[in-house]
Amino acid sequence: MATEVERKTDIGPPHFEQFLHPLMKENYGKWKYHETLEPGVLAHTGDAGTLYSVRCASPRLASTNFIRTMTGLADKYADGYLRFTSRNNVEFLLADKDNIEPLKKDLADLNIPVGGTNNAISNVVHTQGWVHCHSSATDASGLVKAVMDELTDYFTSEKLPARIRLAVACCLNMCGAVHASDIAILGVHRTPPVIDNASLPNLCEIPTTVASCPNNAIKPTSIEGKTTVTVDEDKCMYCGNCYTVCPAMPLADPLNDGVSIWVGGKISNARSEPMFTKLAIPYLPNNPPRWPEAVDAVKNIVEVYAANAKPFERMGEWIERIGWPKFFDLTGIEFTKYHLDDFRFAGTTYRRSTHNRY
Amino acid sequence: MAADVSIDQLADDMYEIVADSAGKKKLKAGDLTKAMTAKYGDAITRKDCKAAIKQLIDSGRCVYGYFGGSSIELPRTEGAANE
Amino acid sequence: MADDLKIPLLEELEKGPWPSFVSDIKSMADKSEVAADLLRQLEKSYEDKRGYWKHGGLVGVLGYGGGVIGRYSALPEEFPGVSHFHTVRVNQPSGWVYTSKALNEIMDIWDEHGSGLTNMHGSTGDMVLLGTNTDELEPTFQALTQKGWDLGGSGSDMRTPSCCIGPARCEWACYDTMDLCYNLTQEYQDELHRPMFNYKFKIKMSGCPNDCVASQARSDMAIIGIWKDEIQIDKDAYAAYMKDGFNIKDLVVDMCPTGCITADENDIEIDDSNCVKCMHCIARLPKALAPGKERGATISLGAKAPIVEGALIAQNIIPFMEMEKPYEELHDLIERIWEFWDDHGKARERIGEFIERVSLATFLENTGLDPLPQMVQEPRDNPYIFYEEYYAEEDEEAASDE
């Protein structure tokens, strides 16, 4: 048995300096420029020398086996230094240029793609889905795998006009903040929670359940002398917060849950200002394990964009230039009443000019 | 003037409020702080309230809960939302 | 035993060129019944097209109100391995830099105390250790702290701050994101571990307007590096690009959002007074152009996902602040914002929604900030102004006497 040790709290994370590659320490704040040697391989140069970063994909939902494989490669080629990017890629930090090719070969043998730099589709930012989440309308890891299997070629190359940032969120709580991505897949519930009136009084605290609704759609009521709740279906936006506190209000609906597709958001300030994603396709069915409808829809948008956008024009910038009618025209996506906003400030999205292209 | 009201006293007062509202309303840390400020005014500070909450939690008299936002509650059976 | 692992739908996801999470979890299934049952339950989800999880509510380690997310299977009898499947968030180091040794130590801990499954990393930035039971939480926590690691945030607390790699590997970093991220995380340990706010508060730090950590979309406070003076130009390097046939007109001059670049094969001039620091030209010509020398950060507030009042992208609140140790001005600002939001915010109201509800003017007044034209796209276009200064009748007479 472990001996009793003093319980530590509030120590915070370790200081990052102990994890920095020696070249990162020496060039800290003094880097001069960087180059892309090939897709997935960056070279950053400062007075102390050049550091090579080799970037590869990861499933993000990764086992300790996968991480140990990565650390093993870092030990073999990168003096034990590696990092993760904000989009869940792994980066090996190499001082020796001659290690790039052997590392790439080892990664290729493990079937791990190298890429994700510049005008590529980088790894997908995504949420937990059916792997871990109680309110998910779809799976996230499976969708990502199915989509990226079709788009791996865009990860390992830089042949797009500009980068495409993909995101997947499994319900509108959007833990992955997909609202500013070039293309986002968003899981949607389309029906309010079903109330199990028989068990609710025993399972749930009524005040807590009422308070859990962000839209005040839940009210207490009495059925056969027992206190339960009702949901104002017009107010419900299917967030699942009530199910969080009350298991007698399941939201999952296999018949109606599915995914929606959103386009044209961006975060960087390059050229244009950051933009929200906008609705492209309001509903596609959940069709595991490979979600062919969603995969085809994303691939179609990517290919139409790739064929039509100018160099360094992001998805949203391209659509702004050609106009939304043409976007729907070129992609063959149907424009429906669901594309018309009806929430707060909906009017700001209505066109108030004669600027139409014919 | 903070010495007028001890941290123990604040923790006891807070505990009472939490116990009173159990099953009725989930209280946030801020609700407890506001209640104490209403009761003692300038005789206490935010720091005192933080210390009192820390004492309540560290002693196990209260626990943190979560239902969309965080709350401070009486300890209860694990996974009560699950049973 | 994993011999009876029948997951034909999931096994479809072992095909194809992208790394397969199914193959990866399967590789754990022999030694971890949690991993095996996770796959079994997930297979059922794929069959039935629905999830089978319940939110857990109250689990954690003593003294902390954040860092652990309780999760339970809705089908514990069928899948006992995942009857508890709690998540432990571990505060990542600045910039997600690791050594193999440090990472392997964490993997050892997680193999011993949990499912052996992780997310590297979660949306907020933490290392996410995915799946353990309640009894293992405290031992996991103790093992982590013995190796120098601590938990991240969850619930209504300051969430784990995160930052880009900054000056550690980027020539565009306009301030030390790595150091500031560490500084804020350590300064506000109490706020990180003990939820005391109306709702979550995320802080993200990017070294330049490219915003590699998506702070403008994903954090309540976005601290983005910026410069005030002239873009630095290396004329020799510029000449080298031109010699290589770089298309300066199409790829730079015509794409500058303010048209402030005049350039041809021989020379480049930038009207910096009209430059909005979008970085497009710098990104195209990284050897020839660099951010200016007078550097700091611009601070924006209020980005969030849709719940409750709709998604927001952060709004600019401080056009420029110097970002030097010990960051007192920033600490002071953060604390003023927290105090006002604490006192007047509603439960589950993020700072962005709070500012919209109380009005930007009220927010500025109460946090000691002055209104600036940089804070808006344009001044108001409606005349419903709530005037606070006006003359009483006597004053009016006095005024007309003049």
Q: What is the DSSP string of C137-161?
A: HHHHHHHHHHTT--B---SSSBPPP
What is the model's pLDDT at position A346? 86
Query: Which domain range does residue B35 map to?
Result: 7-73
Closest residue, chain A, to B80 (C-alpha): A203
Neighbours of chain A (3+ CB pairs under 8 A): B, C
Q: What is the CATH number of the domain that holds B39?
A: 1.10.10
Asked if B79 and C196 come within 8 Å (Cβ–Cβ), the reply is: no
Instruction: Say how far apart CA C275 and CA C281 lie, in whole Å.
Output: 11
Query: Hey, what are A69's tokens?
Result: 């494989």
Asked if B25 and A241 come within 8 Å (Cβ–Cβ), the reply is: no
What is the model's pLDDT at position C36? 96
CB-based contact, B77 to chain A, within 8 Å: no
Give A319-328's long-range contacts (Cβ < 8 A, gap of 24+): A319/A263, A319/A264, A320/A264, A320/A272, A322/A357, A323/A356, A323/A357, A324/A278, A325/A356, A325/A357, A326/A357, A327/A263, A327/A280
What is the model's pLDDT at position B82? 39
Work out whether strand A41-46 and strand A90-94 pair parallel, antiparallel, or are unpaired: unpaired
- pLDDT > 70 fraction of chain A, expressed in percent and rounded: 99
Residue B62 belongs to a domain: yes
What is the model's pLDDT at position C274? 97
Amino acid at B64: Y
Contact of A65 with A25, CB cutoff 8 Å: no
Residue B25 belongs to a domain: yes
Give, in words, the CATH class of C162-227+294-375: alpha beta
What is the model's pLDDT at position C1? 45
CB-based contact, B2 to chain C, within 8 Å: no
Closest residue, chain A, to C174 (C-alpha): A29
What is the model's pLDDT at position B1? 43
- pLDDT > 90 fraction of chain C, expressed in percent and rounded: 89
* Alpha carbon of A84: minimum distance to chain B alpha carbons (Å): 29
Instruction: Say how far apart CA C155 and CA C199 lie, in whole Å.
Output: 7
What is the model's pLDDT at position B2? 45
Average pLDDT value for residue range A244-258: 91
Spatial neighbors of C234 by CB under 8 A, at least 6 apart, are C287, C288, C289, C290
Q: Count up the domains in chain B and report the number.
A: 1
Among the partner residues A19, A84, A244, nearest to C120 by beta-carbon distance: A84
Instruction: Give the pTM.
Output: 0.95
What is the model's pLDDT at position A247? 85
Interface of C with A in 349-388 (CB under 8 A): none
Query: Hey, what are C100's tokens?
Result: 């193999």
Residue C210's closest CA among A165, A96, A10? Answer: A165
Spatial neighbors of B75 by CB under 8 A, at least 6 apart, are B60, B61, B62, B63
Residue B30 belongs to a domain: yes
What is the model's pLDDT at position C397? 56
- The DSSP 8-state label assigned to residue A188 in this structure reads E
What is the model's pLDDT at position A178? 84
Mutating which of B18, B49, B71, B82 best tests the C interface, going by the most C Cβ atoms within 10 A? B82
Among the partner residues A207, A241, A247, nearest to B25 by beta-carbon distance: A207
Residue A38's closest CA among A97, A112, A109? Answer: A97
Closest residue, chain A, to B66 (C-alpha): A245
CA distances from C82 to A21, C34, C74, C87 (A): 39, 6, 9, 12
Instruction: Say how far apart CA C215 and CA B19 lie, in whole Å.
Output: 40
Mutating which of C46, C91, C123, C157 best tests the A interface, going by the most A Cβ atoms within 10 A? C123
Contacting residues of B for C70, CB less than 8 Å apart: 66, 79
Closest residue, chain A, to B21 (C-alpha): A207
Instruction: Say how far apart CA B51 and CA B44 lie, in whole Å.
Output: 11
* Alpha carbon of C366: minimum distance to chain A alpha carbons (Å): 26
What is the model's pLDDT at position A287? 97
Contact of A214 with B68, CB cutoff 8 Å: yes
Classified by CATH at the fold level, domain C2-146 comes out as Alpha-Beta Plaits (3.30.70)
What is the model's pLDDT at position A76? 98
Average pLDDT value for residue range C20-35: 94
Average pLDDT value for residue range A51-72: 97
CB atoms within 10 A of CB A194: 13
Query: B-C interface: how many C-beta pairs under 8 angstroms?
Result: 86
Residue B2 belongs to a domain: no
* A44, pLDDT greater than 70: yes
Instruction: Say how far apart CA C190 and CA C187 lie, in whole Å.
Output: 8
Interface of C with A in 54-113 (CB under 8 A): 54-55, 57, 63-64, 71, 74, 85, 87, 91-104, 107, 110-111
* A1, pLDDT greater than 50: no
CB-based contact, B69 to chain A, within 8 Å: no
Residue B78 belongs to a domain: no
What is the model's pLDDT at position C106? 98
What is the model's pLDDT at position B37? 93
Can you name the residues that pair with A28 across neighbouring β-strands? none
Residue C66's closest CA among C131, C152, C186? Answer: C152
Contacting residues of C for B63, CB less than 8 Å apart: 58, 60
Residue in the block written with tokens 């892309």:
A36
Residue B82 belongs to a domain: no
CB-based contact, B27 to chain C, within 8 Å: no
Asked if B64 and C64 come within 8 Å (Cβ–Cβ), the reply is: yes
When comparing pLDDT for A225 and A294, which is higher?
A294
Average pLDDT value for residue range B34-57: 93
Classified by CATH at the fold level, domain C232-290 comes out as Alpha-Beta Plaits (3.30.70)
Closest residue, chain A, to C47 (C-alpha): A288
* C395, pLDDT greater than 70: no
What are the start-end ranges of the H helices in C98-194?
Answer: 100-113, 134-146, 177-187, 189-193
Among the partner residues B46, B70, B73, nearest to C195 by beta-carbon distance: B70
Contact of A113 with C17, CB cutoff 8 Å: yes
- pLDDT > 70 fraction of chain B, expressed in percent and rounded: 87
Query: Hey, what are A137's tokens?
Result: 């309308």
CB-based contact, B80 to chain C, within 8 Å: yes
* B83, pLDDT greater than 80: no
Amino acid at B61: R
Instruction: Say how far apart CA C377 and CA A273 lie, in whole Å.
Output: 11
Q: How many Å from the N-terminal Cα to the C-terminal Cα in chain C?
A: 96
* Alpha carbon of C86: minimum distance to chain B alpha carbons (Å): 11
Asked if A28 and C168 come within 8 Å (Cβ–Cβ), the reply is: yes
Instruction: Say how far apart CA A69 and CA A108 lie, in whole Å.
Output: 13
Work out whether strand C221-227 and strand C203-206 pair parallel, antiparallel, or are unpaired: parallel
* C304, pLDDT greater than 70: yes
CA distances from C401 to A91, A282, C392 (A): 76, 66, 15
pLDDT tens figures, C49-97 = 999 998 766 688 999 999 999 999 999 999 999 999 999 999 999 999 9
Asked if B67 and A212 come within 8 Å (Cβ–Cβ), the reply is: yes
Instruction: Say how far apart CA C179 and CA A216 lie, in whole Å.
Output: 42
Spatial neighbors of A16 by CB under 8 A, at least 6 apart, are C93, C94, C95, C97, C168, C178, C182
Residue in the block written with tokens 């009472």:
B16
* Alpha carbon of B20: minimum distance to chain C alpha carbons (Å): 19
Asked if C117 and A62 come within 8 Å (Cβ–Cβ), the reply is: yes
Asked if C28 and A14 come within 8 Å (Cβ–Cβ), the reply is: no
As annotated, the residues of chain C forming the CATH 3.30.70.2500 domain(s) are: 2-146
Residue B22 belongs to a domain: yes
